[in-house]
């Protein structure tokens, strides 16, 4: 819940003007009310506009909610599902998230699925179990054919918006575990090909080291994405 329309437009203008020539896929995810404008603003840019959330129902009596079709209809083809703030502040359980993932896939959308442990889980050494069960509950009954439409974003909750980052080694350790878990549940090809992003206080100063880890394929950037020069520096780091 950052940036009004004026602020979003100014940020996107600066980002598209400063975007380096890169093979990296760059996506931005403004709030719902700014999405249609963002799509227009970036129509000649390589930057894709994606949504922060959606409802699982096709339409109906869900006041205040947004459906897959509403997103598709304004040119949005990718949606973030399961961000830790949705889980923590809006009661989104694994069960709800599983329904959202299925609804997005049924509408041929790409899903960026977020998950990650809380501080107590890490302190008690339970972080691998928590991550495995989040993946299992939302994704493990998908068909093999769904996987090309899934991007994973590992975001340890204790590192989001806190200024505290998982060390590059902690990120790599968890990303390797995620890939192994997916290889066991599905197959090695799927595990190898799925993009696993790291999120949680990625900044220009730490991005390169985090992205240099073999199982870290990219980042989900919060605070640093609100300042064009910082976000561009992170894009350059990938
Ligand atoms: P942060 O946010 O980069 O500010 O920690 C990450 C996120 O919101 O997913």
174, 131 in Cβ contact below 8 A? yes
pTM, full prediction: 0.97
Each residue's pLDDT tens digit, 57-116 = 999 999 999 999 999 999 999 999 999 999 999 999 999 999 999 999 999 999 999 999
pLDDT at residue 162 greater than cutoff 90:
no
Q: Where are the alpha helices (DSSP H) in the chain?
A: 5-18, 32-41, 68-73, 84-89, 94-106, 119-123, 127-139, 168-185, 188-193, 204-211, 228-237
| pLDDT at 161 (0 to 100) | 81
Q: What is the 61 CA–ligand 1 centroid distance (Å)? A: 32
Question: According to the model, what pLDDT value does residue 187 have?
Answer: 95
Q: Which of 198, 210, 221 to mutate to test the pocket of ligand 1 (most atoms within 8 A of CB)?
A: 221
- DSSP-derived 3-state class of residue 157: helix
pLDDT of residue 52: 98
Pairing of strands 78-81, 48-49: unpaired
What strand order describes the sheet that includes 110-115? 78-81, 110-115, 150-154, 195-199, 218-220
Paired residues of 152 in beta bridges: 113, 196
- 223 CB within 6 A, ligand 1: yes
Residue 191 pLDDT exceeds 90: yes
Q: What is the largest CA-CA distance in the chain?
A: 48
Catalytic residue among 117, 132, 155, 175: 155
The mean pLDDT of 198-217, rounded to a whole number, is 97
> In this structure, are residues 193 and 147 in contact, taking their beta carbons and an 8 Å threshold?
yes
The helix or strand, by DSSP H or E, that contains position 152, with its residue range, turns out to be: strand 150-154
The residue with tokens 């595990």 is 191
Q: Which of 83, 117, 127, 132 is catalytic?
A: 83
Whether 154 and 178 have beta carbons less than 8 Å apart is answered as yes
Distance between Cα 31 and ligand 1 center (Å):
15
Q: What is the pLDDT of residues 129-153, one digit of tens each?
A: 999 999 999 999 999 999 999 999 9
Q: What per-residue confidence (pLDDT) applies to 114? A: 98
Give the burial class of 169: count Cβ atoms within 10 A of its Cβ; 0-12 exposed, 13-18 middle, 19 or more buried: exposed
Are the beta carbons of 219 and 211 closer than 8 angstroms? yes
What percentage of the chain exceeds 90 in pLDDT?
Answer: 97
């Amino acid at each position: 819940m950052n940036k009004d329309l004026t602020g979003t437009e100014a940020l996107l203008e600066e980002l598209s003007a400063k975007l380096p020539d890169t093979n990296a896929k760059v996506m931005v995810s403004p709030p719902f009310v700014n999405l249609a404008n963002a799509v227009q603003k970036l129509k000649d840019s390589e930057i894709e506009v994606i949504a922060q959330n959606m409802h699982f129902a096709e339409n109906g009596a869900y006041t205040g909610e947004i459906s897959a079709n509403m997103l598709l209809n304004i040119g949005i083809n990718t949606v973030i599902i399961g961000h830790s703030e949705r889980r923590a502040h809006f009661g989104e359980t694994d069960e709800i998230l599983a329904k959202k993932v299925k609804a997005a896939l049924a509408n041929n959308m790409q899903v960026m699925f977020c998950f990650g442990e809380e501080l107590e889980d890490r302190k008690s050494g339970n972080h691998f179990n928590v991550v495995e069960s989040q993946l299992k509950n939302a994704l493990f009954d998908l068909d093999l054919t769904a996987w090309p439409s899934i991007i994973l974003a590992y975001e340890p909750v204790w590192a989001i918006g806190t200024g505290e980052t998982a060390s590059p080694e902690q990120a790599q350790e968890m990303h390797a575990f995620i890939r192994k878990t997916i290889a066991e549940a599905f197959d090695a090809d799927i595990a190898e090909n799925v993009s696993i992003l790291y999120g949680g206080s990625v900044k220009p100063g730490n991005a390169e080291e985090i992205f240099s880890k073999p199982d870290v394929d990219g980042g989900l950037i919060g605070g640093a994405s609100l300042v064009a020069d910082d976000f561009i520096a992170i894009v350059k780091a990938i």
